[in-house]
Chain A
């Protein structure tokens, strides 16, 4: 069953104009379907996975967001 959303009409109008603008600019080009094969070499994939799994990415984010609050998870 479809759910009707109860959003602010003014916001809905702005969203509608944004959609029209993005479509006119060609920005609404949909992502290519059919899955994705990583362009990272296999050895690099392993390094990335280790870095993610040992908390390296989280530490990097702490450093970045300490310098730039606009990029922080709030």
Chain B
């Protein structure tokens, strides 16, 4: 079982799941977190001019643009997501050497509950050290 970050989620949603994600996808073993899913949604609209993905989508005709935005907004059934109702008690109970923000606490709590590996695009030192403290497997996607 793996938990993927928002950039890996976007890769998958846009049809180019990386190697570390493709096989778990086939087996129905891919989760993400609420924070990463939310961050992806924010990223789609962040920025100005052609820096923004939503602005780049303006090159598409309106129906295609609407389908594209909807496809990025809706999490498909092939990707799991655990609710905070179950995760918050675990997030509160995490004892790690360095304080975690909500994004990282949720990722580690989900990894513990699912007995999953955390797979990320960019190395995050505090997430990595928290994973080590909790004996959660952490890897950078290739």
Q: Decide if the interface of chain B is mainly helix, strand, loop or mixed.
A: helix
Q: Which residues on B sit within 8 Å (CB–CB) of A10?
A: 93
Interface size in chain B (residues, C-beta < 8 A): 71
Expressed in whole angstroms, the Cα–Cα distance for A73 and B124 within the complex equals 6
Considering only CB atoms, which chain B residue lies closest to A12 in the complex?
B112
Q: Decide if the interface of chain A is mainly helix, strand, loop or mixed.
A: helix
Considering only CB atoms, which chain A residue lies closest to B126 in the complex?
A74
A39 proximal to B (CB < 8 A): yes
A2 proximal to B (CB < 8 A): no
Whether the Cβ atoms of A32 and B14 lie closer than 8 Å is: no
Interface size in chain A (residues, C-beta < 8 A): 51
Whether the Cβ atoms of B51 and A56 lie closer than 8 Å is: yes
Question: 15 interchain pairs (CB within 8 A)?
Answer: A25-B83, A27-B86, A33-B26, A33-B78, A38-B13, A41-B60, A41-B68, A44-B14, A48-B10, A48-B14, A60-B42, A61-B43, A64-B43, A71-B42, A73-B120
Given A31-B78, A32-B78, A71-B101, 13 more contacts at CB 8 Å?
Answer: A7-B134, A11-B94, A15-B90, A19-B113, A31-B29, A36-B12, A38-B14, A43-B60, A45-B16, A56-B47, A56-B56, A64-B39, A74-B101
